[in-house]
A and B are shown apart, each in its own frame.
Chain A
């Protein structure tokens, strides 16, 4: 199997990471060597193996649905790269 530049562009779109030609070529090389290494798994027959979903044999605990933290709006908003009073600001999405 080989990952070509078209596939890299597709993955980059899905990952929301922009890549230029130079970076795409480097990534294709790296990913191909990594997948070559990963392909080793195909040596194993796993048709009748149940996939592992959790390492621990536990069931999820239930808890009451109560608000425990204080209102931290101000501190939370402070971390935003762009703010406008009580809102997060993003580039315009509606024309």
Chain B
């Protein structure tokens, strides 16, 4: 069956449950397609032989009551996988083999899924184009030499190119939603505290969240249902009543109030994005939603706030990479020299830049002026959303200020790269859930996404809105398999 990889996760689950397909057939199909797709560079580590063996074992005594029975899945290389190398896209973790499994991936395997490999990402998830990875650029299956977005660029590329039926990414400032938008796929960043951070290589702990990246909203809801659990191993995991997101999914969103924040109409926004947003508003109205103009007055301050808070937390989190207990080590004349050389040679340019920014804003004499100031502004940004959600059920915005750009186009200007996350960063700062769904194409034929932001713990609501709008939008991704010779 050559069309196995074209099936959605939900179709594959149904076909395995009804015994029309075996896990081995499905796993083999995705492994073969992945092997033919090396040019995309979506994988950092392949685990195909183990995957095929696990599929065989599954088929011998299949448990068809599971939610992901025998489904092959590759995951972002930021999730620790027991006994399989986990690099975070960095030279400094090039040879690191975790002795434990992240909670999110464990939840996935507990429901019957099978790991096929680890997907490329920006180094320590710091980037918006996957160009900071030690393991090289990732190609966007939409077009040659186009970035797949970042930091979950290997994940977005692999889902769009159908190398894996579904995957997980992490999102600190937009790293799930922006790559989803760039590749015509669906990406959900859950509420902070919804998915456990245990076993995820830490970047900025008050912002990091794991979430599903899928071909459609229904698949996305199913994976969210699997990965979102309370976990005592993460002290910021929140014990709230989680929905059965896929079962409770409905297209009935009549009367839902959807806010349109005027501050997201930023200077220099391409006309295509503006018209996409207008179309999105029409789609939402067609679904029966009520559109309400709202204001999020501190939107413009979100990115500068983020570029203090995230590097500050990163500089602290990344202090552990010292060449002593694990990872890369450069030899030095003495202990301090060894630390300094290890970190200088082991981290890439962007990571070093962010550690330096973080160290500076936390250093003696600057803490109040930068870090404390940023935490105060962060409060104002959160207050904006709290006020907005008194009037509306969800907020609709574009996902990104542009479509995907060419590899190398923005690497020399860090600030222009940071501007990619202008619509996604406020959501992380306020700890809210946000989903990006593909909603149209630009003149070049590249996909564009719309973002639906929900109140905390209201994933079901934004999934429902996305599900209803998805049907009206009827988006078709144009993948030509140009990389397969």
Contact = CB atoms under 8 A, between A and B. Distances in A.
B353 A31 contact: yes
A81 B328 contact: yes
Given A16-B343, A82-B329, A52 B236 contact: no
B313 to A, nearest CB: 13
Contacts of A51: 372, 375-376, 378-379
Instruction: Describe B's contact surface by its main secondary structure.
Output: helix
Contacts of A60: 235
Interface stretch (B93-101, B136-144, B246-254): B93-101
**Interface range on chain B: under 10, 10 to 19, 20 to 34, or 35 or more?**
35 or more
Contacts of B353: 27, 30-31, 34
Interface stretch (B57-65, B333-341, B446-454): B333-341
B324 A44 contact: no
Contacts of A3: 360
Nearest to A63: B232
Q: Is the interface of A mostly helix, strand, loop or mixed?
A: loop
B379 A37 contact: no
Interface in B281-325: 298, 300-301, 303-305, 307-308, 315, 319, 322-325
Contacts of B99: 72, 75-76, 79
B181 to A, nearest CB: 23
B370 interface: yes
A43 to B, nearest CB: 8
A91 B301 contact: no
Contacts of B192: 55-56
B375 A16 contact: no
B109 interface: no
Given A15-B355, A52-B382, A90-B324, A40 B304 contact: yes
Contacts of A88: 324-325
Interface string A55-69: 110101101000001
Interface of A: 3, 7-8, 10-12, 14-19, 27, 30-31, 33-35, 37-44, 46, 49-56, 58, 60-61, 63, 69, 72, 75-76, 78-82, 88, 90-93
